[in-house]
């Protein structure tokens, strides 16, 4: 039996595969450029003079970078104070979100109690409820609590697993962890809290990192809630500061872009640092934690 000689030429299937990969690479590169172009223009405009920002054709690289624009941002408004307020709000809200989400998801996924499925179904149904529907009732409630112009409306509700999507993600992840681990720990004398802290949570690092990143971006970029509940300038967050800078300096767009660039840096650094856990958490959650 003879075998055909290989001529070293790629087959038609290999050529079609290579062509498909080349086309895919071109499309993905075009999408990347499309998505990054506005960001790059914002960063570039933050270093421009006022006359260069909307110059036509677009000036992508300023002739003389105006690094003083970043200093002017802090001179115009107390952005250092805004940054500290944002840090406090985000830290409290994210920590409360992670803790409450873990507790509620653990109770729904690992603890047997009457009506558990009904509670979970009602909780998941709230995902379809827009936040705007509960905006006025929440405002009246927080006003009754005398929480207006404080950080409480921006932080306290998230200590009660307010974001159902995060509970659902954690619940799905916990379902993929064998219950035999709980039973083995119970035989060794561990209680529910010890099982959660020493057995379950160490296995949930990817999904916890995912929830933390999602929650951080959510609270860091939140604009409507601070706009409603924060009145004094000393309590404003960065989102309100950028908007106020836009309102008060309509002609000085370079300052607006400089403030936006400063606001972008922490989120970008966080995603770079937590990228591995973020991607892993999304992948594992999609397959039931396995």
Structural domain that includes position 111: 73-286
**Whole-number Å distance between alpha carbons of 193 and 176:** 19
182 part of a folded domain: yes
> 276-281 long-range CB contacts below 8 Å, 24 or more apart?
277/205, 277/206, 277/209, 277/210, 277/213, 278/209, 278/210, 278/213, 280/206, 280/209, 281/169, 281/173, 281/206, 281/207, 281/208, 281/209, 281/210, 281/211
Q: What is the pLDDT of residue 90?
A: 95
Contact 207, 170 (CB under 8 A): yes
Query: Does the residue 11 lie in any domain?
Result: no
Residue 50 and residue 92 share a domain? no
95 and 217 part of one domain = yes
Do 124 and 183 lie in one domain? The reply is yes
DSSP 8-state class, residue 9: P
16 occurs within a structural domain: no
pLDDT at 6 over 60: no
Reported as a single tens digit per residue, the pLDDT across 252-287 is 788 888 999 999 988 888 878 877 766 665 555 544
pLDDT at 7 over 80: no
pLDDT at 148 over 80: yes
**pLDDT grade, residue 290 (50/70/90)?**
very low
Number of domains composing the chain: 2
What's the CATH code of the domain at 198? Answer: 1.10.3720.10
Same domain, 54 and 152: no
Q: Are residues 180 and 95 in the same domain?
A: yes
Which range has the worst mean pLDDT, 30-34, 194-198, 269-273? 269-273
Inside any domain, residue 27? no
pTM for this model (two decimals): 0.82
Same domain, residue pair 206 and 87: yes
Q: Are residues 48 and 188 in the same domain?
A: no
């Amino acid at each position: 039996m003879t075998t055909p000689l290989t001529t070293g030429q790629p087959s038609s299937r290999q050529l079609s595969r290579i062509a498909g990969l080349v086309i895919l690479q071109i499309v993905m590169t075009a999408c990347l450029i499309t998505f990054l172009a506005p960001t790059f223009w914002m960063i570039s405009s933050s270093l421009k003079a006022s006359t260069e920002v909307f110059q036509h054709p677009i000036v992508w690289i300023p002739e003389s970078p105006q690094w003083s624009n970043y200093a002017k941002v802090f001179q115009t408004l107390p952005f250092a104070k805004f940054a500290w307020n944002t840090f406090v709000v985000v830290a409290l809200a994210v920590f409360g979100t992670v803790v409450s989400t873990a507790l509620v998801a653990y109770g729904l996924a690992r603890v047997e109690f009457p009506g558990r499925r009904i509670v979970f179904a009602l909780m998941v149904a709230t995902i379809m409820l827009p936040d705007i529907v509960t905006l006025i009732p929440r405002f009246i409630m927080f006003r009754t609590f005398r929480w207006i112009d404080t950080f409480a409306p921006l932080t306290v509700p998230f200590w009660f697993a307010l974001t159902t999507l995060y509970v659902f993600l954690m619940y799905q992840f916990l379902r993929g962890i064998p219950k035999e681990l709980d039973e083995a720990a119970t035989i060794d004398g561990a209680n529910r809290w010890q099982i959660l802290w020493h057995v379950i949570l160490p296995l949930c690092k990817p999904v916890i990192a995912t929830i933390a990143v999602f929650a951080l971006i959510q609270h860091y970029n939140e604009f409507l809630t601070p706009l409603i509940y924060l009145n004094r300038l000393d309590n404003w967050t960065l989102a309100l500061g950028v908007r106020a800078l836009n309102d008060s300096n309509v002609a000085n767009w370079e300052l607006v872009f400089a403030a936006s660039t400063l606001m972008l840096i922490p989120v970008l650094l966080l995603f770079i640092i937590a990228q591995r856990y973020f991607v892993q958490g999304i992948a594992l959650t999609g397959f039931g934690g396995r």
